[in-house]
A = this chain, B = another copy of it.
Amino acid sequence: MSLDEVRDKLIHSGLKVTPQRVAILEAVVNLNNHPTVEQIIDYIRISQPNISTATVYKVLDALVENALIKRVNTERDITRYDAILEPHHHIYYPDSNTIEDYIDHELTDLLKTHFGKKEIPGVIIEDIKLQIVGRCKKTAAEK
């Protein structure tokens, strides 16, 4: 994604376009493996060498608030971010502490159909997160 596209996204969400926001959103979009704050700061170091960590956190909060990115995390991890907004799932590998996207339209449809039919009384469903905890067959064999 180009910087101009990133700028458009910010404008479209009613967010002021600042160099810091452009850099951070671009980072999350282009660092595609669920980067941590540290990885984001590392990535934007060239264009934003002296950015304050407080700013990074505040910008990420604003991007999540405005649905431009999502937070992802596991049961044993610091916060990570994801710029993929279309419905998808995640595989978490505890052995390597990594997160991978898992695209499975059949599964997405299955869930959609299920929760389309089945209401949960008193609850408005805003999102459904499915996370597979897995092990690489290769890694597992080594054990």
Contacts and interface: CB of A to CB of B under 8 A. Distances in A.
Contacts of A126: 133-135
Interface stretch (A23-31, A40-48, A116-124): A116-124
A113 to B, nearest CB: 9
Contact of A130 (B118, B122, B130): B130
Interface of A: 70-73, 75-76, 79, 91, 102, 104, 106-107, 110, 114, 118, 120, 122-138, 140
A127 B132 contact: yes
Main SS class of interface, A = strand
B140 A124 contact: yes
Nearest to A77: B73
The 7 closest A-B pairs by CB, nearest first: A71-B75, A127-B133, A123-B134, A129-B131, A126-B133, A124-B135, A130-B130
Given A73-B73, A131-B128, A133-B128, A122 B138 contact: yes
Nearest to A141: B124
